[in-house]
Chains A and B, each alone.
Chain A
């Protein structure tokens, strides 16, 4: 049963299904009720499930996550919305010092099935603190799982899988892809939440990306094809854990890897992938693993973001460099 829908709608349908399937699922956040969220991801859910299930919260991020932890301890499955990426930091303490560790501290006796949805990344011309990519800060923390869908089908399925997961999941939503439409088969069985997929097959260079950059990489592969180059695109989907096996298999075919993300390159996900893949594929690599991403600078004002964000040219330039070795 395939339907065409935008990523935002897929997330909305996913939340609706989760609320229907499990009475313990709760939606919490600022403006998630009557407004339906600033991106309307929770649109209509308040009307259909009521304020007991779709909870408008005070304007306090630490409070939102901290009380979600308490609700999870009581047996609920809160799905928390952080309004924008840059607003998660008041809650960072609760996420890192409490949410991530409680299961281990209780020697496994309690579970913390909390999902924290964060619209992230740039490309929508927003003001400061509305365009950041802090995923590495969460992926670095043991006890958290971190995922990011790149398309409508994954948005629909991965969010439900995250809600069903007994671990805390940080769910990064690529906000500039909210309005991109795609096919969603609501009856098909989804793939594993933490499995990477080959989104485009190719033979010359592997591009590894996630979230908003998958589309850029697919466009780069199409452009490169016009020049007679065959690029393979791996959509990581999960950043903690990372499915290194799928990346490894791809790199063993292509011999070259370029990792692409919006977040600053320094200490970013690309560094981890480059290190691990170098270790695993040293004798298969024809070139060093290259990275394309943000600079070690605050996310720039909107008028400069097109320069900051990796686009086709910077990705293809890295491909050229990889092939020049």
Chain B
């Protein structure tokens, strides 16, 4: 699939086609310039630049991914409320943005997430339990990023966009046609690192897709506090295309991200995708969105729910029967059970893990402190309280 978008941002004007799309979007309460293939009412619409043709099985697969991801997320919130997790960053409402973009990646592509990409991780076959270690407090990441080409979660906002860009520079050097995708939020678009990553990616024509999930809120700050122009339009100033997609439309997200990745892997350089979506829950479990946003806004977005609209479509087209939904329900329950038990049985790390992996090549300083602390710990066994920590 070729991308006809220009550096001016969004798909190119093509006379009637563009007018029609804008009109359709407006009539349906969408945003102008928003790529949409499945309306909130579950109606399939076509787009000149981003066509997609999926088999019934693929469509059911996307539904399954979104439902299971939502169930995983709900289970994690519950576990946090029960004191099993110290914190959780919910993706509720962003399932389509994550599943659609994640399913657009190839196994040899590389993903650089923030800390909310549970759905993307799902599409990369990362064990959901791996994601919970850092929120439970047993590690700060803990998985091997190269196992599924899915980097560790990044807490510092926007840092990973530079890592993705550097990685993409390496991919290009290697002569590979893999692509890299960097996730970030609307708040991160204000960070210098994101701007620098745009600069580097453009200058070196790096095969990286910048995937911004604009969920409208950076904790309590609305997108208006981040940018005076729509985020996707920022790409133009760096010399690469940007496009805004309905982030609650899994088909459109899949089509647009696939096109953007193809654009990158075919040597045309970076592309920015702004998935226009909504964070239905709190920023994290410590946040209270009732202090800064209206209920009506949430309700309005609830009517654009990504899972509900795909379900309407599946049912209208007769692509799924009761047995299918029953199967998904059973799978959801099993996943929740596995996650719940897995978290509760997650072992605390051994005390001496403090000193592990500080350095790859070791360090005399770490060795010394490890030995002193081991001696101190051992003193509780022997009752020799004169053994000091060295401090």
Using a CB–CB cutoff of 8 Å, the interface residues on chain A facing chain B are 52, 57-58, 60, 62-63, 65-76, 78, 90, 93-94, 97-98, 101-113, 142-143, 145, 165-167, 194, 240-243, 279
Counting contact residues on chain B (CB < 8 A from A), the size range is 35 or more
Binary per-residue interface labels of chain B (141-165) against chain A in the complex, 1 for a CB within 8 Å, 0 otherwise: 1111110000110101001011111
Query: A101 to chain B: which residues have CB within 8 Å?
Result: 140
Those of B29-87 within 8 Å (CB) of chain A: none
Q: Once the chains bind, are B162 and A109 in contact (CB under 8 Å)?
A: no
**A70 in contact with B173 given A110-B144, A166-B361 (CB within 8 Å):** no
Q: Once the chains bind, are A145 and B196 in contact (CB under 8 Å)?
A: no
B325 to chain A, nearest CB (A): 39
Query: A67 to chain B: which residues have CB within 8 Å?
Result: 162-163, 165-166, 169, 197, 200
Among A66, A165, A194, the residue within 8 A (CB) of B166 is A66
Q: Once the chains bind, are A60 and B156 in contact (CB under 8 Å)?
A: no
Nearest-neighbor residue (CB-CB) of A59 within chain B: B199
Q: Once the chains bind, are A70 and B159 in contact (CB under 8 Å)?
A: no
If A63-B199, A90-B192, A109-B143 are given as contacts, then 18 extra A-B residue pairs at C-beta distance below 8 Å, sorted by A number, are: A58-B203, A66-B193, A67-B163, A67-B166, A68-B166, A69-B162, A69-B163, A70-B162, A70-B163, A71-B169, A74-B166, A74-B167, A74-B169, A74-B171, A94-B193, A105-B152, A106-B145, A106-B357
A190 to chain B, nearest CB (A): 15
Q: Once the chains bind, are A74 and B197 in contact (CB under 8 Å)?
A: no
A242 to B161 alpha-carbon distance, docked (Å): 34
Query: A142 to chain B: which residues have CB within 8 Å?
Result: 358, 366
Using a CB–CB cutoff of 8 Å, the interface residues on chain B facing chain A are 139-146, 151-152, 154, 156, 159, 161-171, 173-174, 192-193, 196-197, 199-200, 203, 356-361, 363-366, 390
Q: Once the chains bind, are B159 and A97 in contact (CB under 8 Å)?
A: yes
Query: A194 to chain B: which residues have CB within 8 Å?
Result: 364
Q: Once the chains bind, are B365 and A104 in contact (CB under 8 Å)?
A: no
Q: Once the chains bind, are B166 and A69 in contact (CB under 8 Å)?
A: yes
Q: List 10 A-B contacts (CB under 8 A).
A: A58-B199, A66-B163, A67-B166, A70-B169, A74-B166, A103-B357, A104-B140, A106-B152, A143-B359, A240-B365
Query: A75 to chain B: which residues have CB within 8 Å?
Result: 170
Q: Once the chains bind, are B360 and A63 in contact (CB under 8 Å)?
A: no
Q: Once the chains bind, are A108 and B356 in contact (CB under 8 Å)?
A: yes
Nearest-neighbor residue (CB-CB) of B198 within chain A: A63
Query: A104 to chain B: which residues have CB within 8 Å?
Result: 140, 356-358
Q: Once the chains bind, are A66 and B173 in contact (CB under 8 Å)?
A: no
Q: Once the chains bind, are A243 and B364 in contact (CB under 8 Å)?
A: yes
Q: Once the chains bind, are A143 and B358 in contact (CB under 8 Å)?
A: yes
What 4 A-B pairs come out closest when comparing CB atoms?
A70-B166, A66-B162, A74-B170, A67-B166
Nearest-neighbor residue (CB-CB) of A279 within chain B: B390
Q: Once the chains bind, are A71 and B152 in contact (CB under 8 Å)?
A: no
Query: B152 to chain A: which residues have CB within 8 Å?
Result: 102, 105-106
Among B142, B151, B361, B365, the residue within 8 A (CB) of A165 is B361
Query: A112 to chain B: which residues have CB within 8 Å?
Result: 360
Among A63, A143, A165, the residue within 8 A (CB) of B162 is A63
Q: Once the chains bind, are A106 and B143 in contact (CB under 8 Å)?
A: yes
Query: B151 to chain A: which residues have CB within 8 Å?
Result: 73
Among A57, A78, A98, the residue within 8 A (CB) of B200 is A57
Nearest-neighbor residue (CB-CB) of A114 within chain B: B166
Among B169, B193, B200, B360, the residue within 8 A (CB) of A111 is B360
B351 to chain A, nearest CB (A): 16
**A71 in contact with B170 given A66-B193, A106-B143, A166-B360 (CB within 8 Å):** yes
B158 to chain A, nearest CB (A): 9
A57 to B200 alpha-carbon distance, docked (Å): 8
A165 to B173 alpha-carbon distance, docked (Å): 22
B82 to chain A, nearest CB (A): 26
Query: B159 to chain A: which residues have CB within 8 Å?
Result: 66, 93-94, 97-98
Nearest-neighbor residue (CB-CB) of A144 within chain B: B359
Query: B166 to chain A: which residues have CB within 8 Å?
Result: 66-74, 78
Q: Once the chains bind, are B141 and A105 in contact (CB under 8 Å)?
A: yes
B78 to chain A, nearest CB (A): 26
**A242 in contact with B146 given A67-B169, A97-B159 (CB within 8 Å):** no
A65 to B152 alpha-carbon distance, docked (Å): 18
Which of A62, A165, A166 counts the most B-chain CB atoms under 10 A from its CB?
A62
A279 to B163 alpha-carbon distance, docked (Å): 42
Among B163, B173, B366, the residue within 8 A (CB) of A52 is B173
